């Protein structure tokens, strides 16, 4: 998608994760959390990605295996301040800026693409992505004018009436801006709040007060907007991504006998007519051919399996299993092994 740059905010530590590892690097469905965001943005057609890093910046730079640019937010002074760190990198850029977070890994490419396209059609200077929640407590509420247009965002801590408390439309924190309007408005944002921070949603108020149009794009599937703040939400996201992977594989011709008990990384490739039995885990960059029988109770990690391979309640790590071979049950195949074509292994390797 031409003339669009994504700015991905990934500077926070994520204290509620209670971890020595910065939040956006926590593994999720086979790759670091932030790579799900980068891949979705790229798949939406966005050519350029700028990642704003802070805590463990060097570690994030070393870990992310994607063609992105990094800018550093040395002090975490709010979301508006984070976006300002990308201004120099975007000097002279006259296109659109998609702003999203490195800890929101469930957005699909279709959602990002629709936000950008709807922004272009609207003629607005900014478009916020909203959604509806039955229990919106804790989120900023989107308040509309009588004609349905954008009025303001009221953060949870600033709600002062039952009418606003009852609003179920919330701000997801993902936006599309005209680049020049974004940075001009950011310079007018103040940090006169309890936290002393510069908030990105204040840009919308600045633009509206200037008479500019602020549009709203409503996300139908609220689950996509889930931000990861703790381990429980990490597990929720893992379940969503695992189900997406299983659905994709089943649609491509793979039989998964019991999706509820099957775990497969999104980085795995499996050929048609392969059957995956319950309590099986397939991880990393594993590639499985056609017509295989895997499980029940198998674990396969970073391995390459040919066609018509059978693995029954065994573990295969970083190995190659040729066409027609069979393994198990209760066999451990260690890293670096090669099981020859048609060979049967019934005991420990």
Q: What is the pLDDT of residue 1?
A: 62
Mean of pLDDT values over 179-208: 92
Q: Which two tokens stand for residue 120?
A: 């272009």
Active site residue 16: yes
Among residues 98, 96, 120, which one has the least CA distance to residue 107?
Answer: 98
Q: What is the pLDDT of residue 157?
A: 84
Lowest mean pLDDT among 16-20, 171-175, 178-182, 191-195: 191-195
Q: What is the pLDDT of residue 312?
A: 96
Mean of pLDDT values over 104-109: 98
Q: What is the pLDDT of residue 170?
A: 97
Percent of the chain scoring above 70 in pLDDT: 99
Residue 10's alpha-carbon distances to 79, 160, 186, 189, in angstroms, are: 10, 31, 19, 21
Q: What is the pLDDT of residue 98?
A: 98
Mean of pLDDT values over 93-104: 97
Q: Which of 56-70, 183-197, 335-349 has the highest mean pLDDT?
A: 56-70
CA distance 1 to 40: 13
In this prediction, residue 347 has a pLDDT band, given cuts at 50, 70 and 90, of: confident
Could you read off the pLDDT of 275-314 as tens digits, one per residue?
Answer: 999 999 999 999 999 999 999 999 999 999 999 999 999 9
DSSP per residue over 208-228, as a string?
HHTT--EEEEE-S-GGGG---
Q: What is the pLDDT of residue 192?
A: 83
Q: Is the pLDDT at 348 greater than 70, yes or no?
A: no
Q: Which two tokens stand for residue 92?
A: 């002279």
Mean of pLDDT values over 116-129: 97
Q: Is the pLDDT at 349 greater than 60, yes or no?
A: no
Q: How far is CA 42 from the centre of its chain?
A: 12
What domains can be seen in the chain, in order of their start residue? 4-225 (3.90.550.10), 252-345 (2.160.10.10)
Could you read off the pLDDT of 267-283 as tens digits, one per residue?
Answer: 999 999 999 999 999 99
CA distance 161 to 243: 40
**What's the mean per-residue pLDDT of the chain?**
96
Mean of pLDDT values over 248-263: 98
Q: What is the pLDDT of residue 2?
A: 72
Q: What is the pLDDT of residue 195?
A: 77
In this prediction, residue 48 has a pLDDT band, given cuts at 50, 70 and 90, of: very high
């Amino acid at each position: 998608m031409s003339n669009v740059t994504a700015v991905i905010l990934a500077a926070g530590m994520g204290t509620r994760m209670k971890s020595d590892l910065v939040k956006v690097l926590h593994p999720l469905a086979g790759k670091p959390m932030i790579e799900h965001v980068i891949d979705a943005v790229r798949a939406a057609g966005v050519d350029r990605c700028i990642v704003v890093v802070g805590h463990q910046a060097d570690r994030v730079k070393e870990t992310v295996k994607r063609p992105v640019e990094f800018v550093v937010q040395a002090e975490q002074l709010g979301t508006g301040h984070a976006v300002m760190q990308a201004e120099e990198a975007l000097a002279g850029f006259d296109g659109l800026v998609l702003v999203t977070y490195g800890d929101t890994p469930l957005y699909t490419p279709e959602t990002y693409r629709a936000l950008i396209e709807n922004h272009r059609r609207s003629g607005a200077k900014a478009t916020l992505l909203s959604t509806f929640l039955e229990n919106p407590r804790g989120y900023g509420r989107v308040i509309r004018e009588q004609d349905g247009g954008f009025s303001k965002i009221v953060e949870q801590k600033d709600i002062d009436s039952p009418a606003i408390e009852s609003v179920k439309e919330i701000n997801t924190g993902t936006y599309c801006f005209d680049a020049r309007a974004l940075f001009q408005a950011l310079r007018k944002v103040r940090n006169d709040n309890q936290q002393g921070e510069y908030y990105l949603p204040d840009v919308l108020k600045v633009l509206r007060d200037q008479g500019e149009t602020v549009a709203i794009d409503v996300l139908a599937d609220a689950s996509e907007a889930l931000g990861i703040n703790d381990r429980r939400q990490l597990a929720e996201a893992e379940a969503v991504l695992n189900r997406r992977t299983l659905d994709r594989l089943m649609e491509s011709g793979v039989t998964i006998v019991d999706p509820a008990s099957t775990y497969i990384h999104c980085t795995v490739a499996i050929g048609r007519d392969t059957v995956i039995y319950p309590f099986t885990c397939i991880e990393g960059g594993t590639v499985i051919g056609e017509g295989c029988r895997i499980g029940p109770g198998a674990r396969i990690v970073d391995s390459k399996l040919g066609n018509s391979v059978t693995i029954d309640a065994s573990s295969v790590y970083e190995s190659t299993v040729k066409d027609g071979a069979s393994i198990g049950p209760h066999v451990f195949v260690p890293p670096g092994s090669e099981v020859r074509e048609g060979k049967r292994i019934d005991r420990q390797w």
